[in-house]
Structure 1
Amino acid sequence: MTLPRQTPALEIPVPRLETARLVLRGPEGRDFDAVTEFMMDAGRTRYIGGPVASVFDAWGGFCRVIGHWMWNGFGFWTLEDKASGQAVGRVGLLNHAGWPEPELGWHMFAAGEGRGLAHEAALTIRNFAARDLGLNRLISPIHPDNTRSRALAERLGAAVEKETVLLGDPCLIYRHPSVFEEAQ
C-alpha cells in the first residue's frame, strides 16, 4: 500500500522500549499494511468495534493512534519482533474522549498471536507508565465474551472492578495492580 506521505512532517517523541523479544516503538508508515489487515479482520476486531470497511477507514484509525501520542503524550507502541523485524501488534496507553480513565490496551496481529508477546509488552509499558508518566493504576475495559483478553488481564494481575457499558457494549473494567505497591 502506498501511503500519502512517506516522511512525517512532525517528529513525535515516542520512547523506544525493549523487551527480550520485542522493540516497542512509535507507529511508522511501514506498519500500515499490518494495521490495515488487523483492522479489516472481523475475528480480531469483534470486541473493539468490529472491522473497518475500507483502507480509508483503516488510515483514519492509523492516524488516530498517531494523534493520540500528539494529544496525550502516550499511546499505542508498535510491537516489532526483534528476530524478524515484523510488526506483530500494538500495546499501549489510551485515554480517549469519554473514557473513564487511562487504559492499558492491546491489539495483537496474526503474526504475534499466542506467543506471550502481549504479556511481555504490557508489563514493560505498565511499568513505564507508572515510573515515567505517573500512571500507576491503569484499567483495561474488556468485553465479557473476550476470553483471551480477559485471561491476559488476569495474567497481568488485573481483576474485575466493575461491570459497565462502554460505547454501547457490555464491558468489564479490569483494574491493574499498582506497580509501586508490587515493588514494595
Structure 2
Amino acid sequence: MTVCFDIPVIETDRLILRGPQMSDIEPMLSFMTSDRSRFVRSKAEMDANTTWRALAHVAGMWHLRGYGSFVIEDKATGAAIGMTGPWHPITWPECELGWSIWPEAAEGEGYAFEAASAARDFAFGTLGWTTAVSYIDPANARSIALAERLGCRLDADAARPDDLTCLVYRHPAPEVCA
C-alpha cells in the first residue's frame, strides 16, 4: 500500500520550507549526533537509527495530524539546513512552534527567524491556530533570543509537557503577527 499526502512548500526570500525527504537524513544525523543538538533531542544517544526514527516521526506527524515540521532548505545551495514548524505530540498540552538550524555555519544568519516566521504564518493562517507556544530549555540562550525576536513572551503559567524541563514562550496572537 502506498500512502501519499501533500505537504505544502513555502518559499521565503532565501529559504524553501518543505516536507522531509530521504536525503535529509545525513545533514540531520550530523546535527543530531553533535553537542549542538543537546536542546532539541531526547536524552537518548542519537545515532543513524534514532535519527532515522526522528525523521520518520516528523513525516508521520504530517500524515496523522495534517501538519508537522518543515525541513528548511537554503535556496542558494539546495542544502537542508534545519527544521521548523508546527508540532503537537499527543501528550503535549499545547501546539508548539519549534526550530533548529543544523550546520553551525548557518547560525547567526537570520535563517531561523525567517523560517520560523513563515512557519508561524502557516500555522495561524492555513491551520487556523489561535495560539502557539515554544518550549525552550532554560539554558538555550539562542532560542530564547529568537523567541523574543519573534515577539514571544514568557508564559510562566502555561502547562509544560511532563517530560520537559523548559520555559514556555507564547507567540503573539495571529492578528498581531499579520
Q: Is the structural similarity TM-score above 0.5?
A: yes
Poorly superposed stretches of 4+, deviation over 4 Å: none
Query: Separation in 2 of the partners of 1:98 and 1:154?
Result: 26
Amino acid at match of 1:25: R
**Contact persistence 2:85–2:116 (CA under 8 A):** yes
What RMSD over aligned residues (CA atoms) do the two structures have, in Å? 1.9
Query: Separation in 2 of the partners of 1:182 and 1:81?
Result: 24
Q: Identify the structure with bigger relative contact order (alpha carbons < 8 Å, sequence gap 6+).
A: 2
Amino acid at match of 1:73: G
**Contact persistence 1:95–1:103 (CA under 8 A):** yes
The two structures have a TM-score, normalised by structure 1, of 0.88
The answer to whether the aligner puts 1:11 opposite 2:4 as a matched pair is: yes
Structure 1 residue 167, shift from structure 2 partner: 4.5
Structure 1 residue 118, shift from structure 2 partner: 0.7
The answer to whether the aligner puts 1:179 opposite 2:168 as a matched pair is: no
Query: Separation in 2 of the partners of 1:118 and 1:172?
Result: 19
Q: Secondary structure at 1:98's aligned position in 2?
A: coil
Q: Secondary structure at 2:146's aligned position in 1?
A: helix
List gaps (5 residues or longer) in structure 1.
Answer: 1-8
Equivalent pairs, count: 176
Q: Return closer, same or farther for 1:131/1:14 CA change in 2, 3 Å cut-off.
A: same
Instruction: Give the match for residue 118 of structure 1.
Output: 112
Structure 1 residue 79, shift from structure 2 partner: 0.6
Instruction: Give the match for residue 147 of structure 2.
Output: 153
| Range 69-78 or range 35-44, more displaced | 35-44
Instruction: Give the match for residue 5 of structure 1.
Output: none
More strand by share: 1
Instruction: Give the match for residue 162 of structure 1.
Output: 156
Q: Give % identity.
A: 38
